[in-house]
A and B are shown apart, each in its own frame.
Chain A
Amino acid sequence: MGVLSFLAGIIASSVVASIIAVLYSLVLPGIERKVQARVQQRIGPPILTPGWWAVLKFRYKAKTEPIAQMPGFYKSIVYLGLGVVILLFLFSTPYWWAVLGWGSILGLAGLLKLEEVLYVLMGSQSQSILSTSMPVPDLAKGAKGEGIRREFVEQHSAERALKMMAIGSIPLYLALIVPFAAAKSGLLSSVVALQNPAYSAASWFSLPLPSSPILFTVPGLLAAVVYFVGYVMLLNEKPFSILKAKIDVIEGGVLEYAADLRAVYYIMRNLLLFTLSSIFVTLFLGIPFDPFMPLLFILNMLLSLIMPVALAIFVAFSPIFTFRQIYPATIGLSALGVLAMILAASI
């Protein structure tokens, strides 16, 4: 009976949490775009347009077969990506903390890494018309570069994704470790218990507030800065959007997703935007997204707005970095992350 009720609870909480998260996350890009537009003295789109209506629009667009080396696999990657992000979000919700240690630094970091791998796979598969070998005179009439391998721009994007995976995301992982180092445990439950002792005994309608959030300590503050920049890197937003720099690599490996697939990609991207923000609120403020505690999850959702809004302002004032700038930025942030980790462990 105990196992059954636990299973029923985990299924119910997963369904409720996933639905709320997806619906809410589709509002975030609208807020993000609106903030950017106001910074740029533009009106910007209606709040629901870039998320909600874009997804609905793509849902009803004519379906086209993507041009890819393995179209079936290419199409499945986006669904796999959505699954990974949903799991990532669920692992940060309290019911999953008790399942095989998935609600831990390993569960979160593992899924984030998997999500990054998917970008490499997308890029290596997509073969859009933008770089299709065209029968133009420059090749046919003996101009430069005959015989040199021609690469699809998406494949170049995949190479960049690989580099970003190798070095670009290190700061985020270092920042993720800091709350766990402070709690001297690898489990999310311990991190929340350290900051919000009242949570474990709270009833469903109450609002247990954290007594000692890690964010308001020196290591927490340093880690929050590093986490934010890592968040921008993982979302491939400016200035770290080199794998979809627009001027050379358009949208990276997702170029061939259209209609339904594009809609799923939008949901995946927006859910990741929310999930990373929600994880930040859970880890650094001790306010988890508990689907069965309405006041608590609403507070988590509201505080999760901080990151996308900060992201929008950051993006509005940033150029795109090339690897000339990304490498030193990553090294500097990683050093800051290590310092935060050492400080957190020594408290």
Chain B
Amino acid sequence: MSDQPKPANAENVVVEKELSFGPVHPALIEPYRIRLFVNDEIVEDCEINMNMVYRGVEKLLEGLPVERALLITEKVCGICSNVHAWNSVRVIEEGLKIDVPERANYIRTLTHEVQRITSHLIFFGHAFEVVGHETFAMRSFLLRETFMDILAYVGGNRVMPSVPIIGGIRPRADLTEGLKRAILERVDEFEKKYTEYVNRIVADPLVMSRLTGVGLLSKADAIKYHATGPTGRASGWDFDLRRDMKEYKSFDYNIIVLQDCDNKARVVQRALEIVESLKIIRQAVKNLPEGPVVNRSWIAGRMDFYTALLESYRGELMHSYALDGQGMIRSYKIRTPTPANLAAMEKACVGDHVTDAILTIASCDPCLACCTRAEVVESGRGRVMSDTEIIRKYGWRR
């Protein structure tokens, strides 16, 4: 056994073999590559490479008039389309100090929370598919329909509602009295079914035996790898950008932080966040201020490099760009939560069984299509490094 090779960053660990999954693997919802270094069934080390779907979004945005950026930023991701659109307009609004009407902020927040629920329910669907519990997965997709409908009511589209524009929201996304009533009714109806659903999950000993004590990510590791969003909060790291966002100042809700650090915590974290989102949605509908929904009195001009951060459904989302004198975009940068979360999962899945390790990786709710931005050549060593590797090696600086 002493002749067995060892993984690069481990000591006194025997690795019997490597199992690699992806990028061509029917069970991976998106193309990424997982290399597990295992001893029998136990994962001793892991490497995730996600640079398989480089789409050049930032390059497409270069040189575009800023008002046309939405056409592309909303399509960065299908599950979190609204969050990319919103953060994209927040950059110029904050950079050029454009006022946004309060009514528009409420509707933006409402749409954001509605899509947070759809995103978390997709996570349940995926997580329970990975656990192998098809019924819970199917129920989750069934429940999600309520909020897909609400997105369509508000924005006219279930996937790309296109609500935010620079200076407010599209006038067609304004809420009428009838629509407000319909949203509240659907939310009430959803809450009953959802409570029953979550209670059943938590009471299911078979499912809980798969989730509990697996995929441990300590608070220290969560901070070290900057595991953002629900992934970090489920490891006890109390960090949520919504606290600092002016759009959320008028809402009463709780930031959920759990201490269990395992896969169960990451599932329960999202389950509880949905409840908080429901609170915000209700408040947004009931307390919706009167007034205009868009401010059109702005002119795009020169803007220095500006960064906007937003608490998206998976964690911290960064959009950043500068404008030239004609209002054309220069140097657009998007940073999604998944690279940081996946790097943390490389650590969290060590010690798991192989089947559990895939679940652990899925428990950070990875979204690959929107996270792959670039590969960096590390000088001196002549090798291409993935985003994950960069974070693992150098940490993440804001």
B68 CB–A CB distance under 8 Å: no
B12 CB–A CB distance under 8 Å: no
Return A114 CB to nearest CB of chain B, in Å. Answer: 26
Return A311 CB to nearest CB of chain B, in Å. Answer: 14
A65 CB–B CB distance under 8 Å: no
Interface hub of A41, A42, A250, A319 (most chain B Cβ within 10 A)? A319
The closest CB in chain B to the CB of A315 belongs to: B134
Task: Give the distance in Å from the alpha carbon of A317 to the alpha carbon of B19 in the complex.
Answer: 29
B383 contacts A142, C-beta separation under 8 Å:
yes
The closest CB in chain B to the CB of A138 belongs to: B49
Return A153 CB to nearest CB of chain B, in Å. Answer: 6
The closest CB in chain B to the CB of A152 belongs to: B19
A151 contacts B5, C-beta separation under 8 Å:
no
Task: List the A side residues contacting B16 at CB < 8 Å.
Answer: 149
Task: List the B side residues contacting A319 at CB < 8 Å.
Answer: 128, 131-133, 206-207, 210
B206 contacts A242, C-beta separation under 8 Å:
no
B49 contacts A136, C-beta separation under 8 Å:
yes
A151 contacts B359, C-beta separation under 8 Å:
no
A144 contacts B19, C-beta separation under 8 Å:
no
B residues 340-366 touching A (CB-CB < 8 Å): 353-356, 358-359, 362
Task: Give the distance in Å from the alpha carbon of A315 to the alpha carbon of B15 in the complex.
Answer: 34
Known contacts: A150-B17, A238-B132. The answer to whether A40 contacts B27 by CB under 8 A is no
Task: List the B side residues contacting A250 at CB < 8 Å.
Answer: 25-27
A residues 128-169 touching B (CB-CB < 8 Å): 129-131, 134, 136-138, 141-151, 153, 156
Task: Give the distance in Å from the alpha carbon of A164 to the alpha carbon of B181 in the complex.
Answer: 56
Other-chain residue from B21, B49, B133, B359 in contact with A318 (beta carbon distance below 8 A): B133
Interface 1/0s, chain A 308-320, versus B by CB < 8 A? 0000000111111
B209 contacts A325, C-beta separation under 8 Å:
yes
In the complex, the number of residue pairs spanning A and B with C-beta atoms less than 8 Å apart equals: 136
Other-chain residue from A142, A147, A322 in contact with B356 (beta carbon distance below 8 A): A322
B residues 29-82 touching A (CB-CB < 8 Å): 33, 35, 37, 41, 45, 47, 49
B residues 162-221 touching A (CB-CB < 8 Å): 204, 206-207, 209-210
B354 contacts A248, C-beta separation under 8 Å:
yes
B7 CB–A CB distance under 8 Å: yes
Task: Give the distance in Å from the alpha carbon of A146 to the alpha carbon of B362 in the complex.
Answer: 26
Determine the interface band of chain B, counting residues with CB < 8 A from chain A.
Answer: 35 or more
B25 contacts A130, C-beta separation under 8 Å:
yes
Interface hub of B18, B41, B138 (most chain A Cβ within 10 A)? B18
A246 CB–B CB distance under 8 Å: yes
Task: Give the distance in Å from the alpha carbon of A149 to the alpha carbon of B132 in the complex.
Answer: 29
Task: Give the distance in Å from the alpha carbon of A317 to the alpha carbon of B206 in the complex.
Answer: 9
B287 CB–A CB distance under 8 Å: no
B353 contacts A324, C-beta separation under 8 Å:
yes
Return A165 CB to nearest CB of chain B, in Å. Answer: 16
B8 contacts A145, C-beta separation under 8 Å:
yes
A246 contacts B27, C-beta separation under 8 Å:
yes
A residues 222-264 touching B (CB-CB < 8 Å): 238-239, 241-242, 245-248, 250
Other-chain residue from A145, A239, A247, A325 in contact with B359 (beta carbon distance below 8 A): A247
Given contacts A138-B47, A242-B355, A324-B356, 19 further A-B contacts (CB under 8 A): A41-B139, A137-B383, A137-B384, A138-B35, A143-B47, A144-B47, A145-B5, A145-B47, A148-B15, A148-B17, A150-B17, A150-B19, A150-B20, A246-B26, A248-B354, A250-B27, A317-B133, A318-B206, A322-B355
Instruction: List 28 A-B pairs, Cβ < 8 Å.
Output: A40-B134, A41-B138, A129-B24, A131-B19, A138-B33, A141-B384, A143-B47, A144-B35, A146-B5, A149-B18, A151-B17, A151-B19, A153-B21, A238-B132, A245-B355, A246-B26, A246-B132, A247-B129, A248-B27, A250-B27, A317-B204, A317-B206, A319-B207, A321-B210, A322-B41, A322-B210, A322-B353, A325-B210
Using a CB–CB cutoff of 8 Å, the interface residues on chain B facing chain A are: 5, 7-9, 15-21, 24-27, 33, 35, 37, 41, 45, 47, 49, 128-135, 138-139, 142, 204, 206-207, 209-210, 353-356, 358-359, 362, 383-384, 389
